[in-house]
A and B are shown apart, each in its own frame.
Chain A
Amino acid sequence: MMPSALDIDGLAISFNGKSLLRDFSLTVGHGEHVALNGPSGCGKTTLLRCVLGFATPDAGAIRVDGEALDARTVWELRQRIAYVPQSPEFGDGTVEEVLHRPFAYKANAALAANVSRAPELLKRLRLPDDAMSKQTGDLSGGEKQRLALVVALLLERKMLLLDEPTAALDGEAKAAALELLREQSDMAILSVSHDEALRKTAARVVNISTPKEP
């Protein structure tokens, strides 16, 4: 049997001594979009960070494509995941430089030709025609989110982690982003959002609540 794209088993997460998630389990199938819903501060973002190895859970296991995530495998597993943070930070440079940057990494060198698809994706996401030459520091929060989404899609990963990807988008840009996400039928997507419209694009919504203190 083919393993799930993502398998989270009995995860416990705490932050600054406060328990956020306890015995949390979730499976995301290949090509499935699962949306996580829950109040602010309940651990949704930390959960995504755990999948990327940026946060360490107190207990439980994470498997990507059936492979356990640990200090040894995390570097290879990250190459199967694309991530769109809530407030992406790209450092200095123009949009064009940001689009090329990930393809300078050894792991993505074979995908370098994908950058040629960037102008079309930027246009679809309603980014202005002169976006390529803009400095990242001059982009609005919504423009940064759309740029991060474009980079994530160009990387052609099997799984996409989205942290409030439409939070800073207006109506037209949001509709365009949702349409683009709907088209990613071969990608496993785990999204975190308070946005009802985004949750509607998901095949499944999983509700998370903060565990009651014993």
Chain B
Amino acid sequence: MGAIDIGIGGLAAAYALLILPCAVILWLRIPMLGQSALAIARMTVQLLFVGFYLEFIFKLNNFWLNAAWVLAMIVVAEFSIVRGCELRLKPFLGPLFLALMTGTAIPLLYFLGPVLHRPGLLDAQYAIPICGMILGNCLRADIVGVRTFFTGLRKGEAEFQLALSQGATLQEALRPHLRDACQAALTPTVATIATIGLVSLPGMMTGVILGGSSPMTAIQYQLAIMIAIFSGTALTVAAALLLSLPQAFTPYGVLNRTVLKK
């Protein structure tokens, strides 16, 4: 038994529900009607495009095509991080790509291999959605982590330089900033893990139940994906910060402000 096909009529009914948020926005004169409309339009176009494309690649289930799709997702995520953290693109292109790749590929391959025992290395039906979930969380974690790191460092540059003047190595002087950045990046994931199932039913679990599986099967998937997400976010944030250090600091250990947009 699969999920019920919503169909065009059902989808139209779903869009009709937009009357409610639009009414609230108009009633309170919140200046975000255009922004909301644009977001809905973007979501529709993006998901339709992804839907058509996934139908196509699920049918072909070709390793290289799947790998190309995963790579494309990582590159798009990378641009979002650079924009979200107000960094110059060129110096961070390599480090952030490697960080996202590490944070996504390791838990993904582990999930597909030892957890799900899929015979193909990148089986489209499993690899693409699971990669999307891990990567989405890695993206958010990297934005929070990298942003917290540079904001904290600019605010605490005097303290950082005092540590250097006291004989600290770059890693030693940066340790409090790296710790704060990683903590800020991981806190939302830890909070989600702690309240999962109590506050909301998570997306993957809902999807598996709607797909016709038993709630216990859905829970097993959810547990495994949450652990994969936690592992991926921890890996990607640590990698993003550590790999960015050579670009962000001069050989004298001074913050290279030319790599920051602000």
Contact = CB atoms under 8 A, between A and B. Distances in A.
Interface string B166-195: 111100100010000000000000000000
B156 interface: yes
Interface string B233-262: 000000000000000001111100000000
B165 A82 contact: yes
Interface residues of A, number: 29
Contacts of B156: 89, 91
Contact of B167 (A54, A88, A91, A107): A107
B55 interface: no
Contacts of A75: 169, 253
A179 B117 CA distance: 74
A79 B163 CA distance: 11
B172 A106 contact: yes
A53 B255 CA distance: 12
A107 B168 contact: yes
Contacts of A148: 162
A54 B166 contact: no
Contacts of A81: 165
Nearest to A72: B251
B80 interface: no
Contacts of B61: none
B158 interface: yes
Contacts of A54: 161, 164-165, 252, 254
A52 B173 CA distance: 15
Nearest to B155: A89
B165 A71 contact: no
A94 interface: no
18 contacts: A54-B164, A74-B253, A78-B164, A82-B165, A83-B165, A85-B158, A85-B162, A87-B158, A88-B158, A104-B172, A105-B169, A106-B169, A106-B172, A107-B167, A107-B169, A108-B166, A108-B167, A148-B162
